[in-house]
């Protein structure tokens, strides 16, 4: 098992909320706290220590202060390292729409071999009719043959890339290969055929696209200076008073051209002047469908548009371990469907103002362990589908400045362990209906008018809660529809304080790690243990604060200090 550590950057110190999901044992609480440790004293939000040691006031409306430039690392979210034991089911029926996604269903011949090195690349075993162009370690492979082509990649190059234009199905076996491009994409497949990427068992594979050499330093991600960490201050030049000029965008006497500036790594910077504009699609990009399988690991560092992309659809199968760190652009993207069926997927867009894990149509999460961070700008969303999103299982942990989980169509949750945390918007949001049939769900959204669970109720869509254990906190939530089959309790509070534990006695509890003061907050609890007609005490730090004498279905309400629903 290969383990990866998050590189923390002290741009802004922000705590991560602590949710305890309907469990009463200390062991269960420790398990639920694993991804949401308590906030250290003096840290944001609700007032406390901000960037560079400055004292910061609470953000109006409660919740988090919106910061650019990273900071998501400071939530304490750790990348997944324990490989889930997902059941692997290979579709064998050609009538199944997913038949073509499985490499086992395609007959490949003996693989050709590419071995990268500092001096170039050795290529052997390409079938007749397959053309090869070489420029050092920069390879272009072209084939119009309909015969499936298999290629094994190994070795290491700090200055190379692989470009493929193959019409037939293509199998890429990654066997301890490192490709770092200085000219654009690391691997680009321009053919429309299905690309099957297989990570050899136990292999460690790395890809990175080129970074503009005129760009400013990477703000500590990856680490700066010898051996990582902060740069060596002893090498900084000495400036005498009056010698240091102001940056161009701070010089009030200098005429600015807004087109000369852009936001990079959360900071407003001068656009670099390139002698030659590089055409870059991303780090690992396929024009056709892409499936990733195997029992190895793949690490991608993206410096441009996207880290891992299919211009068609993308499937991630059990057993593989994928880590994508994006300094700019999206982390993982599929133009059509995205299937997360197992394995580990870590996506870190802490410094990118773009969205982290997205697809252009439907997204299906069936298993695996997905950890997503999106924090480079206020529009940074964590997980987004343009149409349906369906979560049937697995672990999904998302922290984002904008919506943590967003479906522009319906959002259906049938199972899984889901933790969603948004700094400035909704934790779980759907532009149509939200249907929850099962799973353990913790959703922490920002203060009014945002919240934990938000469907498009103003347009006639509804929130249906039919099962699952749910805790949602935020300024407001959508009201569960009367056709919901499981009761819920919604509790309005004029002032929800950080560090206090709020709960329904005997059902579930939540220890808040951020304050909701201006505008108040709403807590929503739902559990299979709730029974219609029963009384329930609502507690703060174990003491009864309010009481519901007889729980209504589908929703019991208490409190009146928050937003009038």
Alpha-carbon gap, residue 141 to 288, rounded angstroms: 16
The residue with tokens 């939200």 is: 434
- Percentage of the chain with pLDDT > 90? 61
Mean pLDDT of 244-266: 48
In this model, does residue 502 exceed pLDDT 60?
A: yes
* HSE-CB for 401 with a 13 A CA cutoff: 27
Looking at per-residue confidence, does 157 or 224 come out higher?
Answer: 157
pLDDT at residue 268 in the model: 53
Residue-level pLDDT at 64:
30
* Element counts in the chain: helices (H) and strands (E): 1, 45
Query: Which pLDDT belongs to residue 280?
Result: 84
171 torsion bin: left (phi>0), alpha (psi -120 to 50), beta (else): beta
By CB neighbour count within 10 A (0-12 exposed, 13-18 middle, 19+ buried), where does 270 fall?
middle
**Has residue 31 got a pLDDT over 90?**
no
User: First CA to last CA across the chain, in angstroms?
Assistant: 49
Taking the alpha carbons of 278, 282, 283, 285 in that order, is the dihedral positive or negative?
A: negative
Q: What is the pLDDT of residues 395-411, one digit of tens each?
A: 999 999 999 999 999 99
**484 pLDDT more than 50:** yes
DSSP-derived secondary structure letter, 1: -
The number of residues making up the chain comes to 565
Q: Which of 69-78, 87-96, 369-378, 553-562 has the lowest mean pLDDT?
A: 69-78
Confidence of residue 267 (pLDDT cuts 50, 70, 90): low
Range with the largest mean pLDDT of 334-338, 378-382, 489-493, 552-556: 334-338
Query: Of 70, 11, 39, which is closest to residue 514 (Cα–Cα)?
Result: 39
Are 554 and 486 in contact by the 8 Å Cβ rule? The answer is yes
Q: Residue 44 above 60 pLDDT?
A: no
Residue 251's pLDDT band (cuts 50, 70, 90) = very low
The residues pairing with 230 across neighbouring beta strands, listed in sequence order, are: none
Between 96 and 350, residue with greater pLDDT: 96
Q: Domain locations in the chain? A: 91-212+261-271+278-341
- Provide the mean pLDDT of the chain: 79
pLDDT for 139 equals: 97
Average of pLDDT values for 278-301? 94
What's the confidence (pLDDT) of residue 125? Answer: 96
Check residue 258 and give its pLDDT.
Answer: 59
The secondary structure of the chain in percent helix, strand, coil, rounded to multiples of 5, reads: 5, 40, 55
Lookup result for tokens 């390879």: 139
Task: Determine the Cα–Cα distance for residues 365 and 90; give it in Å rounded to an integer.
Answer: 16
Which tokens is 350 given? 């802490």
Whether residue 262 is predicted with pLDDT greater than 90 in this model: the reply is: no
Query: pLDDT class for 271, splitting at 50, 70, 90?
Result: low
When pLDDT is cut at 50, 70 and 90, the band that residue 516 belongs to is: confident
Q: pLDDT tens-digit profile of 70-120?
A: 344 445 678 999 999 898 999 999 999 999 999 999 999 999 999 999 889
Q: Is the pLDDT of residue 243 over 60?
A: no
In this structure, are residues 384 and 360 in contact, taking their beta carbons and an 8 Å threshold? no
- Mean pLDDT to the nearest integer, 276-294: 88
CA angle 100, 105, 108 (to 5 degrees): 110
Report residue 520's pLDDT band, with 50, 70 and 90 as the boundaries: confident
Which two three-digit tokens encode residue 382?
């964590």
pLDDT of residue 415: 97
Over residues 132-168, the pLDDT tens digits come to 999 999 999 999 999 999 999 999 999 999 999 999 9
- If you compute the radius of gyration of the chain from its CA atoms, what whole number of angstroms results? 25
d(CA 27, CA 33): 10
Q: Could you tell me which of 384, 351, 521 has the C-alpha nearest to residue 446?
A: 521
Taking 50 as the threshold, does the pLDDT of residue 247 lie above it?
Answer: no
Closest CA to 271 of 263, 282, 260: 260
Rounded Cα–Cα distance for residues 423 and 72 (Å): 9
For residues 185-200, give the mean pLDDT. Answer: 96
Q: Is 423 exposed, middle or buried (0-12, 13-18, 19+ CB in 10 A)?
A: buried
């Amino acid at each position: 098992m290969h383990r990866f550590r998050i590189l923390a950057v002290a741009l802004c110190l922000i705590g991560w909320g602590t949710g305890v999901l309907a469990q009463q044992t200390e062991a269960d609480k420790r398990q639920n706290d694993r991804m949401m440790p308590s906030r250290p004293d003096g840290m944001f939000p609700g007032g406390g220590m901000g960037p560079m040691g400055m004292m910061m006031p609470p953000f109006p409306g409660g919740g988090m202060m919106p910061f650019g430039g990273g900071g998501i690392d400071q939530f304490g979210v750790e990348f997944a390292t324990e490989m889930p034991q997902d059941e692997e089911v290979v579709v064998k029926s050609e009538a199944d729409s997913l038949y073509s996604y499985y490499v086992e269903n395609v007959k490949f011949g003996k693989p050709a071999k590419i071995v990268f090195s500092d001096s170039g690349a050795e290529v052997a075993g390409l079938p007749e009719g397959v053309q090869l162009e070489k420029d050092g370690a920069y390879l272009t492979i072209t084939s119009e043959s309909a015969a499936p082509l298999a290629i094994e990649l190994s070795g290491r190059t700090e200055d190379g890339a692989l470009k493929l234009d193959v019409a037939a199905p293509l199998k890429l076996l990654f066997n301890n290969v490192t490709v770092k491009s200085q000219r654009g994409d690391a691997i680009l497949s321009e053919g429309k055929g299905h690309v099957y990427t297989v990570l050899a068992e136990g292999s460690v594979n790395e890809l990175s696209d080129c970074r503009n050499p005129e760009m400013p330093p990477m703000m500590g991600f990856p680490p700066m200076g010898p051996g990582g960490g902060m740069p060596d201050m002893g090498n900084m030049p000495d400036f005498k008073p009056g010698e240091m000029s102001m940056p161009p965008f701070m010089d009030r006497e200098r005429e600015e051209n807004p087109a000369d500036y852009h936001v990079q790594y959360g900071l407003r910077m001068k656009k670099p002047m390139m002698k030659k504009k590089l055409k870059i699609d991303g780090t690992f990009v396929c024009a056709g469908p892409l499936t990733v399988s195997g029992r190895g690991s793949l690490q991608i560092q993206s410096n441009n548009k996207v880290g891992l992309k299919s211009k068609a659809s993308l499937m991630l199968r059990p057993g593989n371990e994928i880590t994508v760190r994006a300094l700019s652009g999206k982390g993982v993207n599929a133009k059509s469907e995205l299937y997360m069926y197992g394995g580990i997927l870590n996506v870190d867009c802490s410094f990118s103002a773009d969205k982290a894990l997205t697809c252009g149509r439907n997204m299906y999460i069936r298993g695996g362990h997905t950890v997503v961070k999106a924090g480079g700008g206020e529009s940074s969303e964590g997980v987004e589908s343009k149409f349906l999103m369906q979560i049937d299982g697995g672990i999904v942990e998302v922290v984002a400045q904008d919506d943590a989980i967003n479906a522009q169509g319906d959002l259906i949750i049938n199972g899984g362990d889901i933790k969603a945390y948004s700094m400035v918007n909704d934790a779980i949001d759907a532009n149509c209906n939200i249907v929850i049939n099962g799973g353990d769900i913790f959703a922490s959204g920002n203060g009014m008018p945002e919240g934990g669970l938000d469907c498009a109720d103003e347009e006639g869509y509804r929130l249906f809660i039919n099962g699952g254990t749910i805790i949602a906190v935020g300024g407001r939530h959508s009201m569960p529809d009367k056709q919901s089959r499981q009761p819920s309790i919604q509790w309005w509070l004029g002032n929800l304080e950080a560090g206090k534990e709020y709960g329904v006695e005997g059902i579930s509890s939540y220890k808040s790690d951020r304050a909701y003061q201006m505008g108040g907050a709403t807590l929503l609890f739902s559990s299979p243990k709730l029974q219609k007609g029963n009384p329930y005490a609502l507690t703060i730090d174990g003491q009864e604060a309010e009481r519901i004498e007889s729980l209504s279905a589908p929703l019991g309400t208490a409190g009146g200090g928050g937003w009038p629903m």
